[in-house]
Copies of this chain bind each other. A is one copy, B any other.
Amino acid sequence: MSTLPIDRRGLLGAGVVVAAALGLAACERKAPVSLAPGVSKADFAGFIAAAKSIVGAEWVAGDAQSVKPWTKKYIPDPGNVHAPVGAVAPASVEEVQELVRIANTYKQPLWPVSTGKNMGYGMTSTAAPGQIVLDLKRMNRILSVDPELCTALVEPGVTYQQLKDYLVENNLPLWIDVPTVGPIASPVGNTLDRGVGYTPYGEHFMVQCGMEVVMPNGDLLKTGMGSTKNPSAWQAFKWGYGPYLDGIFTQSNFGVVTKMGMWLLPAPPVYKPFVVRHKKMEDVSRIVDAMRPLRIANIIPNVVLMMGAGYQLGMFARRAEVWDKPEPVPDEAFEAAAAKVGLGMWNTYFALYGTETMVAESEKIVRAAFEAIGGEVLTEADMVGNPYFHHHATLMQGGLSLEEIGIVRWKGAGGGLAWFAPVAPAKGSETVGQVALAKEILGRHGFDYTVAFAIGSRELHHIIALLYDKSDPADEKRAAECYHDLVTGFGDKGWASYRTGVQAMDLVAQQYGEVNRAVNAAIKQALDPNHIIAPGKSGIA
């Protein structure tokens, strides 16, 4: 352990880096790690000791060596300022409550994660330095599944794979909706980040129903109908009575969610996936305009993806297989490489769900709409053996796949990824400026245009995968700068992110206005006066 003076509150309060306090050798790569402002080495040690007594020493990491599993990240963090300083893994709600109470005692901030697999947003990295990961992975019980109401109640450590397995093992005709890395990710974690999937239940927060939350003071809140005498409607009715609170626990640091209800999709009699192929970059504008009325009228009921050639290729290919120069991959190279594997520049995935007759009727409408704008409307029969189609066909029925993780190695084995996802109304005209701006900013920093667009309902998400080589410090630095420029460049045009990684939470928060920040700050101060839950999350101290 370090021989620094015990009380470094003054220095630490000023944000001074104290790697030594954590026992890190000064020469360790990316060593800078500090305790949280106002937390002394003695406070930290006190919390760690108390945490061990609560959850057992084997579930606490309190030094640089043992915390390593929680420092893995794909986002750019050249200064390593987002590494946690410890981790603690409780097994029960009661343990979470006790940990939160001692966190108040020692003023030790905690960074709650469910399974912490949010690859392009930070994994278990923290928004501000000096935090201890509150890892909820051991709380992994599926508490109930109601086959009549098509609902589930789960703990944060439950993975999508686990829930899917449960449904299959119990022969329940219910579908889940998974995000990109479904097998290892958590429904609770993804929903709290307001993540999105690919089926008609793709808006995860929309189909969330009821929460249990450990408040920063250790109190146990049940939202919605959860605290009524016989909470049989907890997973049936979202709103409860009085102010609807669930929303303030998403993308937030106002509490630790320890249970979450969710709605499950009854398996439809017929499922039919499609891809519409378009050849040119500029086609995306007309695709969005064709798609918008179909989504709004619910003819196409699922969250649709317009996958760009670059993003698609990145799933299974390395960059060198597509383009051998350091300059960003030109459209033509993407187009040619995509054509070789049966893809277009834009590959629009959607599906139809219902009876044979319903699906056939909707298909007529959809075909007419996309063929009118020069799209090739293709089905499973046309795409036999195509791994890209197979992948998306899996996702759109709530199936599990890790194939997309391949993109993190686009530029090499180093594994670097940061998602940037600005929001716009679902209008084709919005894509023109966005494509140009994204290519300009990415290109300026030497990165490729590896992207998708998604339409949830009336909004358009430009999903930009910033792919870099994390094993190359210069590339990581460029990626960090590029991400910053994406946030500010898009923000200046009014395209702000719906979500961001820990490296840019404050930057994005600035784009949502001072009153918004003031309201969040007031609620934070009221609910968490010691600021012990995830300070810095979503730009809220």
Which chain B residues border A365 with CB–CB below 8 Å? 355
12 contacts between A and B (CB under 8 A): A223-B516, A227-B515, A229-B496, A232-B494, A233-B425, A236-B425, A241-B497, A241-B498, A243-B251, A243-B252, A245-B516, A263-B457
Which chain B residues border A459 with CB–CB below 8 Å? 233, 236-237
Which chain B residues border A52 with CB–CB below 8 Å? none
Q: Confirm or deny: A409 has a beta carbon within 8 angstroms of a beta carbon on chain B.
A: no
Let me know if B518 and A522 touch, CB within 8 A: no
**Who on chain B is nearest to A361 by CB?**
B357
Complex CA gap A425/B146 in Å reads 11
Interface size of A as a range: 35 or more
Q: Confirm or deny: A162 has a beta carbon within 8 angstroms of a beta carbon on chain B.
A: no
A75-122 CB contacts (< 8 Å) to partner B? none
Which chain B residues border A237 with CB–CB below 8 Å? 423, 425, 456, 458-459, 498
Interface string of A266-305 (1 = CB under 8 A from B): 1010000000000000000000000011001110010000
**A237-B423, A458-B150, A515-B222 given; A243·B520 CB < 8 A:** yes
Q: Confirm or deny: A432 has a beta carbon within 8 angstroms of a beta carbon on chain B.
A: no
Q: Confirm or deny: A477 has a beta carbon within 8 angstroms of a beta carbon on chain B.
A: no
Copies in the complex: 2
Q: Confirm or deny: A523 has a beta carbon within 8 angstroms of a beta carbon on chain B.
A: yes
Which chain B residues border A293 with CB–CB below 8 Å? 266
Let me know if B266 and A296 touch, CB within 8 A: yes
Q: Confirm or deny: A374 has a beta carbon within 8 angstroms of a beta carbon on chain B.
A: no
Which chain B residues border A219 with CB–CB below 8 Å? 515, 518-519
**Who on chain B is nearest to A226 by CB?**
B513
**Who on chain B is nearest to A237 by CB?**
B459
**CB < 8 Å neighbour of A491 from B228, B231, B296, B362:** B228
**A228-B494, A248-B247, A459-B236 given; A241·B538 CB < 8 A:** yes
A474-533 CB contacts (< 8 Å) to partner B? 491-500, 508-509, 511-513, 515-516, 518-520, 522-523, 525-527
A382-437 CB contacts (< 8 Å) to partner B? 423-427, 430
Complex CA gap A245/B513 in Å reads 14
Let me know if B523 and A525 touch, CB within 8 A: no
Closest chain-B Cβ to A137's Cβ sits at a distance in Å of 24
Which chain B residues border A230 with CB–CB below 8 Å? 493-495
Let me know if A240 and B511 touch, CB within 8 A: no
Q: Confirm or deny: A246 has a beta carbon within 8 angstroms of a beta carbon on chain B.
A: yes
Closest chain-B Cβ to A173's Cβ sits at a distance in Å of 11
Q: Confirm or deny: A347 has a beta carbon within 8 angstroms of a beta carbon on chain B.
A: no
Q: Confirm or deny: A49 has a beta carbon within 8 angstroms of a beta carbon on chain B.
A: no
Let me know if B458 and A151 touch, CB within 8 A: yes
Let me know if A516 and B222 touch, CB within 8 A: yes
Complex CA gap A200/B457 in Å reads 15
Complex CA gap A498/B235 in Å reads 14
Which chain B residues border A268 with CB–CB below 8 Å? 297
Q: Confirm or deny: A373 has a beta carbon within 8 angstroms of a beta carbon on chain B.
A: no
**Who on chain B is nearest to A292 by CB?**
B148
Let me know if B206 and A206 touch, CB within 8 A: yes
